Amino acid sequence: MNALFDELSPEAVGLLRKRGRPEWSEPTLATLVHEPFDHPDWLFEPKMDGQRCLIVKHGSRVRILSRNDKPLDDTYPEIREAVAEQLGPDCVLDGEVVAFSGSTTSFARLQPRMQLENTADVRNSEVAVYCYLFDILHVAGHDTTRVPLRERKKLLARTAEFTDPLRWTPYENSSGQRYHRGACAAGWEGTLAKDATAAYHPGRSRSWMKFKCVNDQELVVGGFTDPTGSRPALGALLVGYHEGGRFAYAGKVGTGFEERTLRELRAELDRLERADSPFTEEVAEHGAHWVEPRTVVSIAFTEWTGDGKLRHPTYRGLRRDKDPSDVTREFR
């Protein structure tokens, strides 16, 4: 047995499965809940405001993949190079790529970097990125997904050197409520609670839960309005979400845009224009243009109104790593 497994309990060793390294594994997705809790069998981590990634290393070959299996190798070459240097030849790790604004992670800061793939543009970018690693799915010829999370953390700690831009994800044992209060006071997006006794479950799972300090939501663009006054390109985005076979209208978003963003969005949405509204309900917005609902955006807001619309929404950025058909309403 590989020396990497020496610190595992006998029970955890018995749950290892010898098998070939997968090219892709569906990541665990956390379920949104609203009340932080304390529990001795759970651990608590910061909720990063970045881009989820899966790192696959086979020999000297490194692949960085988004949560929906899109390649990110050319977007984050410094992370790919760090993985090549710091990790063993056979592993699959779960993590999050982030950029910082001050002392907190910022999706808005990461957004310009997420759109880059040209080598020269990436190298010239002033946005420094880091990858926080928090789980391990495969190592040294063994599938680790049945091993409890607390034991997987031991394996992860022995697998990488955690030298920038690769970073260890800190966590707190047991005290989720105190941890969440501190996170919100520090300006974090939120926290995650993870069942330390649980296996790694692909897809949405209640063994991972997320608690947000601020409201944000992925939504799908179904249309836009014409600009008014001196504003260029477009006025507001008309956004919605999928629910019970419906594409529900969530309102319009007209703030949070830079001029360049407005022009880039208009160019993208013009290519998706259609004659009729994609929303299930009637949407009466003056000067509306309808588009195929394929563009996912991140929106910050204060609350949902009684009729199911966003209150005080602000645009945060595009989410290329999210499938439009998976976008549902999280907050109630």
- Each residue of 68-91: pLDDT tens digit? 999 999 999 999 999 999 998 899
Per-residue pLDDT of the chain (332 residues; tens, 9 = 90+): 688 899 999 999 999 999 998 888 999 999 998 889 999 999 999 999 999 999 999 998 999 999 999 999 999 999 999 999 999 889 999 999 999 999 999 998 999 899 888 888 998 999 999 999 999 999 999 999 999 999 999 999 999 999 999 999 999 998 999 999 999 989 898 999 999 999 999 999 999 999 988 888 999 999 999 998 888 999 999 999 999 999 999 999 999 998 999 999 999 999 999 999 999 999 988 889 999 999 999 999 988 888 889 999 999 999 988 999 999 998 65
Tokens 């990488």 -> residue: 160
As a whole number of angstroms, the distance between CA 155 and CA 137 comes to 10
As a whole number of angstroms, the distance between CA 258 and CA 269 comes to 16
Two tokens, residue 194: 């993870």
Render pLDDT for 140-174 as a digit per residue (tens, 0 to 9): 999 999 999 999 999 999 999 999 999 999 999 98
Same fold for the domain at 3-9+41-172 and the one at 216-326?
no
Q: Tell the burial category of 288 from Cβ atoms under 10 Å away from its Cβ (0-12, 13-18, 19+).
A: middle
Q: Where are the domains of the chain?
A: 3-9+41-172, 216-326
Q: Which residues pair with 72 in a beta bridge?
A: none
Q: Tell the burial category of 123 from Cβ atoms under 10 Å away from its Cβ (0-12, 13-18, 19+).
A: exposed
Maximum CA extent, the chain:
70
As a whole number of angstroms, the distance between CA 293 and CA 296 comes to 8
Residues 6+ apart with CB under 8 A from 124: none
Reduced to 3 states (helix: H, G, I; strand: E, B; else coil), residue 116 is: coil
The torsion angles phi and psi of 29, rounded to 5 degrees, stand at -115, 135
Render pLDDT for 190-210 as a digit per residue (tens, 0 to 9): 999 999 999 999 999 999 999
Show which residues are catalytic. 47
Reduced to 3 states (helix: H, G, I; strand: E, B; else coil), residue 137 is: strand
Fold of the domain spanning 3-9+41-172: D-amino Acid Aminotransferase; Chain A, domain 1 (3.30.470)
Tokens 């696959």 -> residue: 56
Q: Cα 109–46–310 angle (5° rounding)?
A: 60
As a whole number of angstroms, the distance between CA 146 and CA 59 comes to 24
Q: How far is CA 69 from CA 107, 141, 322, in A?
A: 20, 22, 10
Reduced to 3 states (helix: H, G, I; strand: E, B; else coil), residue 279 is: coil
Q: Which CATH number fits domain 216-326: 2.40.50.140, 3.30.590.10, 1.10.10.10, 3.40.1440.10?
A: 2.40.50.140
